Amino acid sequence: MTDTYLLLILGAALFCIGVMGALTLRNAIRILMCIELMLNGANVTLIAAASSMPETSGVGQSMVVFAIAVAAAETVIGLGAIVAMYRAKGWVTLEKFNLMKW
């Protein structure tokens, strides 16, 4: 149970907590926050892999840089969508958006 393993487990745990939140929460904003958690979990896993290979740790960190950029962009878009949803309906409860129900 080396540190690398622990960091990997942390990353997996963060990811799974984020999954749990994404699946169980009602407010769309909070689901977006849990998606941020999932992304962070992925980032942590990347850092764990990068740090286990010190010679090439820069590569892993570069990937994390990109991942953070992507996370930011995706958050912007998601929030814009949620604001548009709020404008259209007046609420952002994801449970109520079930027009595609059979």
Residues from 20 through 79 that contact other proteins (CB under 8 A): 20-34, 36-37, 40, 43-44, 47-59, 61-62, 64-66, 68-77, 79
Interface with other proteins includes 88 (CB under 8 A)? no
CB of 77 to other proteins, least distance (A): 6
State how far Cα 40 lies from the chain centre.
6
Burial class from Cβ neighbours inside 10 Å (0-12, 13-18, 19+) for residue 44 reads: buried
Number of residues that bind other proteins (CB under 8 A): 86
Token pair listed for 30: 């909070």
CB of 88 to other proteins, least distance (A): 11
